[in-house]
Amino acid sequence: MSKISRKIGGLLYYSFAKHLPPSYSGLRIGQRALRALCGKLMLKSCGKGVNIEQGAVFSARTSLGDYSGIGVNARINGSCTIGSCVMMGSDVVVITRNHAFSRTDIPMMHQGFEEERPVVIEDDVWIGDRVIILPGVRVGQGSILAAGAVVSRDVEPYTIVGGVPARVIGRRREEEKA
């Protein structure tokens, strides 16, 4: 997309569409279609049938696959690739870089940031409410991230993780359950 269309999409989204009711509300005024249009204008790539919910904040370097969603009040910072058919709950946070803190002779607030480490969320993933995904994490296909989890390491495909920090609490495939 051109810089102009990204700016138009951002202006339309952040000034108006972001504040419309969530898609599941009883009020149907085209909010889902309008936010999807803004996504197509703003995002690095945006598939068909997407659902960007009320209050979501996201980087233009986000890629959103077919039939995927960005949840109510979600916050996606930096470069994030979201595959197809991804469900995302409310208040999800995706972080792609942290503050630098290696030196003790300089206050942390003056050390800047570490290098960005993109996050990848593969196809058919369910991300529960208030999940936090930390920099550089890859979430494997078919995984489930339980509500409130803090995901600091890669998640294998078809794995269910939960807790702080997130750890394996189940598997979705029979051969892996034994």
The answer to whether residue 7 is domain-embedded is no
Q: How confident is the model at residue 132 (pLDDT cuts 50, 70, 90)?
A: very high
> Would you say residue 86 lies in a domain?
yes
Domain that holds residue 97: 47-177
- pLDDT score, position 174: 75
pLDDT confidence band for 1 (50 / 70 / 90):
low
- Average pLDDT of the segment spanning 95-116: 95
Known catalytic membership, residue 19: no
Q: Is residue 150 part of a domain?
A: yes
Residue 125 belongs to some domain of the structure: yes
Identify whether 82 is part of a domain.
yes
Q: Quick one: average pLDDT of 96-105? A: 95
Q: Is residue 104 part of a domain?
A: yes
Residue 176 has pLDDT above 70, yes or no: no
pTM: 0.93
Q: Name the nearest CA neighbour of 133 among 77, 55, 57.
A: 77
Question: Is residue 138 one of the residues assigned to a domain?
Answer: yes
**Among 19, 48, 99, 167, which one carries the catalytic annotation?**
99
What is the rounded distance in angstroms from the CA atom of residue 117 to the CA atom of residue 79?
Answer: 8
Q: In this structure, what CATH number is given to the domain that contains residue 164?
A: 2.160.10.10
CA gap 44, 63 in Å, rounded: 5
Residue 111 lies in a domain: yes
How many domains is the chain built from? 1
Mean pLDDT of 44-55: 97
